[in-house]
Structure 1
Amino acid sequence: MTTDPPKGSTCVELMWVEKEVECWIRFGRVIHERILDRRRRVVSFAPDSIFATVRWMGNDNGTVLSCIDVVRAVRPGEPYSTVFRVQPGGDSLLRCSGWPRVERVLKAIDAIEALDINPEDAAPDHWRHVHARLLVGEPPRAYTLGRHRAWLKRRQVTS
């Protein structure tokens, strides 16, 4: 698509330069995509949607940086945190760097998908929990179908 993203959406610039820089979306519902050139594109997310971005940088000696962010796209006028390559920014639910932590987050995402739940539909508090547990070197609690049902009911009541 070549049109502008929908007004009020959150945009993420993605880049892929093989063996140097890789920025991609691990999960999330993209509502718009704009290809800038063969190495860069911009994807957009609707307000209140949750998505994960992964960044990797390397050189001839190997990995220099690996990071993952789980972000809730903010509504217009809502406060937000600065997130790399995310405009205007977002509600940062999880931010980890270093391969061991990033790998644990990726495994947590895989575990949610194994329950046949889209990670973007998981409770935002779960991502905050995973972030907090990884910061102190503890394993996060597993996301369960029961927790997911409770989240869906709570969301229904508060909407």
Structure 2
Amino acid sequence: IANVVVLSITRELGPVLAGLMVAGRVSAAIAAEIGTMRVTEQIDALTTLSTNPMKYLVAPRLIAGLLMFPLLVLVADVIGVFGGYMVAVHKLGFNAANYLQRTWDFLRAEDVNSGLVKAAVFGIIVTLMGCYHGYNSKGGAEGVGAATTNAVVSSCILILSFDYVLTEMFFSK
């Protein structure tokens, strides 16, 4: 059981589930914020003030997504593996020392690193989709609402698609 928990959490479940959960919250928030700025002409005001909206609005969000998603996935991995330990030891009656030893034996840096790389890619995807759909929204409140929906849907689809591609890159032999 320990090997299945460690492999599934670090390779797939940690990055993908964290990415999908955060995509719903973060890409919608970014799209709504930037979309509202677009329809209220605040982005045009930034341009008038000789401020590059991409550098001012998009770049900080991209950097935050790139740096924070891997940390979030690392936390998700630890919690997921600990949850597997709790179920195996306290509900299924496994020997705690044996379970921990098997977990440590199957934990590989390659698996953790692949999950962290996926997380960085997912962070870029989520923030880019939020920024893109928010920046290109038009039509008032309805347009902002559509932009938030489009940002979440496109983020989720791209996360699942890139997960497949990255898994093939990392683990195909």
State the TM-score, normalizing by the size of structure 1. 0.27
Q: If each structure's strand is expressed as a fraction of its own residues, which one has the higher value?
A: 1
Q: If each structure's helix is expressed as a fraction of its own residues, which one has the higher value?
A: 2
Work out which structure has the larger RCO, using CA pairs closer than 8 Å and 6 or more positions apart in sequence.
Answer: 2
Larger Rg: 2
State the TM-score, normalizing by the size of structure 2. 0.25
